[in-house]
Structure 1
Amino acid sequence: MPDSLQQIDPRSIATELAAWLASTAVERDRAGGHAGREREAIRASGLLALSIPVDYGGAGADWPTVYATIRILAQADSALAHVYGFHHLQLAGLTLYGSAAQRQRLLTATVRERLFWGNALNPLDKRTVASASADGFVLDGIKSFSSGSVGADWLTVSAWDHSVDGALIAVLPASQPGISVHPDWDAFGQRQTDSGNVRFEQVALPADLVLQAPGQVPTAQASLRSQVAQLIMANLYLGIGQGAFAAARTYTKEQARAWFAAGVDKATDDPLLQHRYGKLWLLLRPAELAVDHAAVLLDQAYRRGAALTGEERGLVAIAVAEAKALAHQAGLEISSQMFELTGARSTSAQFGFDRFWRNVRVHTLHDPIDYKIRDLGRYALDGSLPQATAYS
């Protein structure tokens, strides 16, 4: 870890880390499983403390900077970028939900012990149940889609309390007795996101690790967590699109052969190929601008703290929906159309170009993009802001 987190250059560190990840990305994508060595490299880089305020020993970076590092990593390895991005999502949850004492304790420990955080919060999976105990709660059940849970030091957890018909949000050490993490993620993309199931068997949850009590209505500030998460995804999709575009461009310049009917010697001189690359560029640029704009608005809202209003939060949600819809389209279209520009030889397994499409296709199914576009349509028609949920 660097001696002074405040003096690090996050983008340069992320760029170097991305180049190292890229050297083994194809073979690791084929192998799947837990990328333990790569996660340790992320830990050693100092980037795990990037979003933690200076008051707690972190680098104190703003969200545009954090998102930039996620996107840089996603260009090379979107699975590890996902794990890294979701680590920062859990840290955001501590700030948005936690008390001053909880933030002091947990954020300081994250910097001091270089903790890696994972997610077991999936709000749609209500199979983990919380029962009141003398000094907190007892958790039983299972939680799916637990990104980054394999190898995590701490987990953010949600559990359903039937007595109030509502969920609590808490944090726990992954080594807590009764917690077992199952590395059973088997999707065809994002294969190293450590997104298996987490099982809880009579797990003691102390009251001082509960961030949000069961059934408590989240404030505008607390509900900003979903926007932090959605913009992480938008940056992942965009990073994949940028990575696919760069891979296709390099292949076209260095290996592609001009089509005989083009009447040119080099593929890059083919006017139809130039036209198609221009069309892909016009997918990337609006997505880049929208994603960066949303990051600025989110950072401003995040820094408002408890003073954040519902309307301010809603305007962030609109900007994030725009960014996510455009990044979704760019990632899917570029990772698919790249093969039409690079030709049959580019489908060789040695290049692993198919991983771009598989990764973005799996990740873009996190929640239906149609509902983001519906929210944008409502806003365009009558100014309605999105309802604050765990996804909007």
Structure 2
Amino acid sequence: MSQADQFPATDPAVYEEYKSKWSEIPQDEQGWLTRAREVAAVLAQDAVKRDQENKSPAAEVALLKHSGLLKILGPKKYGGGEQPWNVGYKVIREVAKADGSIGMLLGYHLLWSRTADIVGTTEQSDRFDKLVLTNNYFVGGAVNPRDNDLRISVDGEGIVFNGAKHFNTGGVVSDLTVLEGVVDGTTDHIFAVVPSQQAGIQFAHNWHNIGLRLTESGGVKIDNVRAPWADALGWDAVEHKPLPNVLQIHWGSLLLPVIQLVFGNFYLGIAIGALEYASKYTVANTRAWPFGGDSKQSPTEEFYILERYGNFFAHLRAAEALADRAGDQLAAAFAGHGSDHTKLTAEERGEVAEWVASVKVVATDVGLRVTSGVFEVTGSRATSLKVGLDRYWRDLRTHTLHDPVAYKNRELGRYALLGEIPQPTWYT
């Protein structure tokens, strides 16, 4: 049996027309949001079918490449959009409205494709940008902190990674993979970017979960994967030691708020998408209830239906405003300090982290309430598999278990009550 038979994938050829249609990337924020909505419209056409078929998203990644969305944050000199993170977050949200899996893949790519900005040197960041943008690469990452760290040994002029991770989002369909591990005999961590399609990266193809089914978030074994010292992000390639000014703790730890806000934004996109999808169904298919003593001719006249939609809409608007504010705070941190990483204080970093934590809490609470509550205003027939309304809740429920939101609430409580900023961790 061939690998194609064992692990079926969607066919990239189905989106080939968009390669020429989107031959130019947008030039401003509104243009990027328009492009993201166009991508979402394409994905929405068969989102239910693709979710149920559960194939590896080769075609969907090709669509993201054709659209230029993978390049939104990169520098213009290499063909990128050079947009700030707050615009990137809005684009993630738009795509996730139509397909949570692809919104998630886009979000993870944007994080991993900018990793060298945060933990690398200026030269490494520039070199990585050129590699990713000129080749229009999609980047995945095998960095799951709940597992044991990958082991890094030193071999001649390079470093060698070994180990395994239970989760590796997008790796199967990626061009490059971010690895992270600890050097043998030390507590020193190293990030490096390596080609995904090599013998030493062995994907388990075991992502068979209830939600986010098209993210290829299964396990991976890393077996003697090599990288040159020049690609050890933030390390001196001659002295083989970390550069303290580059890996300055407050700046380097921004990597975590960046990814946590990716989460919050695709959560919101999924929840907003659920409300929009449900509202179309209600208008077209839901029937008014004739046994309540106040019979209506149409479901859009039913008080309880109007009340629920209004309440969901208000809370999602508030959550979006919060997410936008947090995105602005994060973008300002990047813009305000530029290449001078040492100026970012613990207090500034902590303030950004608590805006992000607030989004995570609110998006989780509201998102789960909306994605389950829409069934109350669509009716029993909306539970049909052909309707596919369940995918929104399944997607959101799956990823909101990534790290317990209760700890974000506690963190925010200590900040609000005691004025304590959070200590950077792999999840804060």
2:315 and 2:122 map into 1 onto residues whose CA distance is 43
2:328 corresponds to: 296
Percent of aligned pairs with the same amino acid: 36
1:265 corresponds to: 297
Give the drift of 1:182. 2.8
2:307 paired with 1:275: yes
1:91 and 1:127 map into 2 onto residues whose CA distance is 21
1:240 corresponds to: 270
Give the drift of 1:167. 2.6
Give the drift of 1:230. 0.4
Give the drift of 1:125. 1.6
Alpha carbons of 1:109 and 1:127: their partners in 2 closer, same or farther (altered >3 Å)? Answer: closer
The one of 170, 179, 186 aligned to 1:164? 186
Give the drift of 1:3. 5.6
The one of 14, 17, 26 aligned to 2:48? 26
Q: TM-score, normalised by structure 1?
A: 0.96
Give the drift of 1:212. 4.2
1:170 and 1:334 map into 2 onto residues whose CA distance is 39
2:320 paired with 1:284: no
Opposite residue 122 of structure 2, the aligned amino acid is: A
The one of 279, 304, 322 aligned to 1:249? 279
2:149 and 2:389 map into 1 onto residues whose CA distance is 37
2:419 paired with 1:383: yes
1:192 corresponds to: 214
The one of 312, 326, 329 aligned to 2:362? 326
1:54-91 superposed Cα distances (whole Å, 9 cap, x missing partner):
24431101112111110011011010111111000012
Alpha carbons of 1:98 and 1:32: their partners in 2 closer, same or farther (altered >3 Å)? Answer: same
Give the drift of 1:4. 5.1
**1:21/1:77 contact within 8 Å kept:** yes
2:249 and 2:24 map into 1 onto residues whose CA distance is 34
Q: TM-score, normalised by structure 2?
A: 0.88
2:424 and 2:318 map into 1 onto residues whose CA distance is 26
The one of 85, 96, 106 aligned to 1:74? 96
The one of 255, 258, 261 aligned to 1:231? 261
Unaligned runs of 5+ in 1: none
2:395 and 2:248 map into 1 onto residues whose CA distance is 32
Give the drift of 1:184. 1.4
Give 1:106-117 correspondences, 5 Å limit: 106-117=128-139
The one of 316, 330, 346 aligned to 1:310? 346
**1:170/1:212 contact within 8 Å kept:** no
**1:367/1:391 contact within 8 Å kept:** yes
1:373 and 1:137 map into 2 onto residues whose CA distance is 39
Give 1:210-225 correspondences, 5 Å limit: 210-213=232-235, 218-225=248-255
**1:6/1:58 contact within 8 Å kept:** no
Secondary structure (helix, strand or coil) at the match of 1:221 reads: helix
1:318-344 superposed Cα distances (whole Å, 9 cap, x missing partner):
100111111111210001011111110
Unaligned runs of 5+ in 2: 1-18, 236-240
2:86 corresponds to: 64
Of 285-294 and 198-207, deviating more is 198-207
Count of equivalent residues? 392
Give 1:112-127 correspondences, 5 Å limit: 112-127=134-149
